Amino acid sequence: MSYSDDWQLNALCRGNHAYLFFPPSTFERKDERERREMKAKAICGVCPVQEPCSQHAVAIREPFGIWGGLTEVERRNVTLVS
């Protein structure tokens, strides 16, 4: 089976609001992080490629950002359960 990442072309996280999916390089307060993550997850919730995105992030053990509606911690928990 060949791997294709063409799904990324249809991801709603591409573009001007991509900053929501990764923490800033400067300090971020807990309430700011929670708001940013909530906005990112809302975008993931209506994204047409949410499932392949989250599957990809779990499979490669992506350590950063929100992928397919899952944070780093949530992905680790999925990996531990699988």
pLDDT of 15 reads 83
* 69 is a domain residue: yes
Nearest to 47 by CA among 14, 81, 22, 19: 14
pLDDT, one tens digit per residue, over 17-68 is 889 999 999 999 999 999 999 999 999 999 999 999 999 999 999 999 999 9
Cβ atoms of 67 and 56 closer than 8 Å: yes
Total structural domains within the chain: 1
Query: Does 3 map to a domain?
Result: no
Structural domain span for residue 30: 8-81
pLDDT at 2: 46
In a domain, 21, yes or no: yes
> At 82, is the secondary structure helix, strand, or coil?
coil
pLDDT at 12: 94
In a domain, 1, yes or no: no
Report the pLDDT value the prediction gives residue 82, as an integer from 0 to 100: 55
Residue type, 64: F
